[in-house]
Every structure is written in structure tokens, then in C-alpha cells.
Structure 1
């Protein structure tokens, strides 16, 4: 956490949110509800309105602020601006783009996260969608592992990924899941039109409720008893298949 800017205290945080500072996560110390005065309630309300993830954590999470009047709450500032895909997608179409999006379902390893974003920037991805919770922290480590690509590809934080997928499908995008639970190899899928590709959690893959509603499922085979590829490697294979189909028709 020392590598990220921290804001602490109720009133500074309220001011930061009202000033549209990009806040990555908000942390409350266990027992904060006992102090639930109107300002705490206002902070909670503003955070929910702005879809800022809220975490209830033990006292030891505040060890860096022991000599500060943190009032049981602090936040990490995001080094980048985040967006909503509903705001960006119409702009892509207005510009005549053939949108290519990535949806990262609970990618928590910062090295995988950074590597994926670097590959996405190289392959021409228009935006990356991540959940507000259960995702790698956007900070100096992810900026470093992405070689600065975090500043080049718009990041969209969405509270409800299932609704986001449904929105993309209604908007005319083909949503493709990268999963070994398929009989269709990745190169047999048509990526020529507007597309969103979902990559799943390093341990559990893509959430089943997302798999149920996706348009198609792409399989990348693995042999010698290995169940699947590293998620950042799978990302590169899929994105450059999209590139191949679109650039070398």
C-alpha cells in the first residue's frame, strides 16, 4: 500500500469523492458501525453512488496510519481514470471502430493483470472491463508489469459483470468465453465483428453464470496433463487470432 497514495479521515474522503478523485478502494476498520454518525453515512452513500468498492478490514490494516487521525477509514487512490463501458461503446461506434473488448473476471494476480493489459494494448483492444471487487489492484506494480500500457487502454470498472455482458450482447457484440469447457477451438470462431472476450480467474476460470449467457466458447488445448494455459498466455493467443482475422482477411 505504500506505493499508492492514501487518503484517510472522513471529511477528506468525502471531499475527494465529491471532487471526482479516482478512488480504487475504500477501507473501514472493523467496528466502524459503532461510530455511524451522519458523516459516516454520507461517506457510505457517496461511495455506493460512485461504485467504489468498500472493504471491512481488521485494525492491523491501519498500521501505516497508527499516528494519524484516520477515524477508522482510508482509501487508495487509483493512478488512472476509470470509465463505464456504457459511456465508451457509443463513442467507439461513432468513430467507426469495430470494437474489441476484454472482460477480466476476477484476475487477481498483478503480474497476469499487467501482462494482459500490455498484450491488449499491442493487439489494439479498445477497452478492458474489470469488476469493482475481486480484481488486481491498479497501482505501481500493475503499471510496471504492463510497461505503462495501463495509461493507453481505457479501464472500465463495472459493479455487475453479468449485466454488463447482457448489455454488450444487446448492443450487438459477440461475447466469447475462453474456457477449456468447450469443443470449439479458438481459431474456428469468427472474430471479424464487434467482439468481447472473457478471461477467467487464475484458479476457477470464468464464473458459470457468465458462461451461460456468452455467445460462444473458445477452447485452447493443453496436453501432458496440464488443465489450461496461464491466463495471460491464453489472452495473447486469442487477441492475435482476432488480429489475424481482421488484418489478413
Structure 2
């Protein structure tokens, strides 16, 4: 973690949260006490920011400055408001294409996905506030800078975002090996959102149940699944192929 992407000190982190800075994660020293720190903990909970309690040695490695037991990792990009993003995209004279990620946790996979999303014309990427890979320098580097070009929105609950998209006329298709039908049978010549699951667990079962479509890729070898960033690319370019006809 580079120094330009962190802030430190309890009051400084509090001010960053109140100023709506894009904070990926906060590290706090184990056993830290005091009224100001309790206020910070409360503010962190209200804003749904990830907080980890770590040994002081971890904080000392993150910065040599007087951190007061608290260090925050700042995202290199600004996130978009989800509902405003959807409204902006739907107002365009284009077929909307959104990408949703359910628990993709590897920053390099995330970066590769962002790069492919930008190249395939995705209008916006939607991720949950908790359980998603943070956007770090590695993410931006792997995305080849595409992280600055594709709007990314964080939401409290992915299922609520799915319901919102569906009520806005957007059909949501989940990529899952559990599907009966292959991707090539889904009509993407309509407002579309593609949802990809985590590297290990895929899309959560409760989320699968509310989708408009489920689709899988044909796997002809002995390996049972593709890397999520590769699978995402295949799905997105099937959308491109259908829409270019």
C-alpha cells in the first residue's frame, strides 16, 4: 500500500468519512479505546465501511507517521451513486449494459474484468459495499487504466440493486454452471445486466432465485470452470456479438 493512498489518525479518518471520501478499508489497532475511537467505530458501522482490528506492527508497516492506531486505505477512484447511474444510462439512446459482481474478491481479477467491461461497452459496474475486492493501485494497473473510464457504483445490498434494475426494465442474467441453458439462448438485444459470481462460490443461491435468466458456458475439457475474468469476457462479448448483428 503506497502512502499516497492512505490517511492516518483517528480525527483525519473521521473527517474523510464525513467528506464522503472513497474509503476501501480501515485498519485499527487491537485494544484501542477512548471516546473518539468509539465515535469512529460508530461512524464506520453507519457507513458500511470494512474495519479490521490488527496488531500495531501492521499499522507501523503501513506508515511510519503517527497513526494513533488507525489507518485508512483510500480508493484511487470516485464511486458513482447507483440510482443516478442507472437513470443516466437509461436516458441515453443506447441499449443499456450493466455488469454486477457478486463477491469477486481478487483485485487482479477485478482489474481484468474492468478492462474487459470498458472494451465491450459496459455502461456501469455494480458491486456490493461488503465482500467485494477493493479498488487499489493493482486493480487500476491490471485494468490498464479502464477503472477511470467505467462508472462503478457500490450498493448496500446487491439484491435490492437487482430489483431496482428489473423495475427499470433491465433484464438480469446470471452466469452460473448450475444453469440448464447455455448463454447462446439468451436474448441480449434488450436492456441487460450480467451478474458474475465469486471465484469460489459463484452467485449466491438467494440471488440466483430472483434473476430473469441463468446461463452457462459450454465446457469441453476436464476442468469444471473458467477463471471469473475470462468467463466474464465471454459473456460480455456474446452481448456484443448479438447486438452487432
TM-score w.r.t. length of structure 1: 0.91
Q: Distance in 2 between matches of 1:214 and 1:14?
A: 38
Between the two proteins, the alignment pairs up a number of residues equal to: 245
Structure 2 gaps, min length 5:
none
What is the match of residue 27 of structure 2? 27
What is the match of residue 228 of structure 1? 225
Structure 1 gaps, min length 5:
none
What is the match of residue 186 of structure 2? 189
What is the match of residue 124 of structure 1? 121
Distance verdict in 2 for CA 1:66–1:183, change over 3 Å = closer
- Describe the SS at the equivalent of 1:197: strand
Q: Distance in 2 between matches of 1:140 and 1:201?
A: 21
What is the match of residue 155 of structure 1? 152
Note the alpha carbon deviations across 1:47-91, whole angstroms, 9 max, x for none: 344433223334342132575332221101110001231121111
Q: Distance in 2 between matches of 1:30 and 1:163?
A: 34
- Describe the SS at the equivalent of 2:99: strand
Distance verdict in 2 for CA 1:171–1:56, change over 3 Å = farther
Q: What is the root-mean-square deviation in Å for CA atoms of aligned residues?
A: 1.9
Distance verdict in 2 for CA 1:66–1:152, change over 3 Å = closer
Aligned pairs for 1:69-88 (under 5 A) are 69-88=66-85
1:175 aligns with 2:137: no
Distance verdict in 2 for CA 1:243–1:51, change over 3 Å = same
What is the match of residue 10 of structure 1? 10
C-alpha displacement of 1:204: 1.4
1:62 aligns with 2:59: yes
Q: Distance in 2 between matches of 1:226 and 1:131?
A: 29
1:100 aligns with 2:97: yes
Distance verdict in 2 for CA 1:66–1:185, change over 3 Å = closer
C-alpha displacement of 1:4: 5.5
Note the alpha carbon deviations across 1:111-164, whole angstroms, 9 max, x for none: 211111111000000111112222223111111111100000011111211222
TM-score w.r.t. length of structure 2: 0.92
1:199 aligns with 2:196: yes
- Describe the SS at the equivalent of 2:172: strand
Q: Distance in 1 between matches of 2:86 and 2:145?
A: 23
Contact 1:3 1:139 in 2 (8 A): no
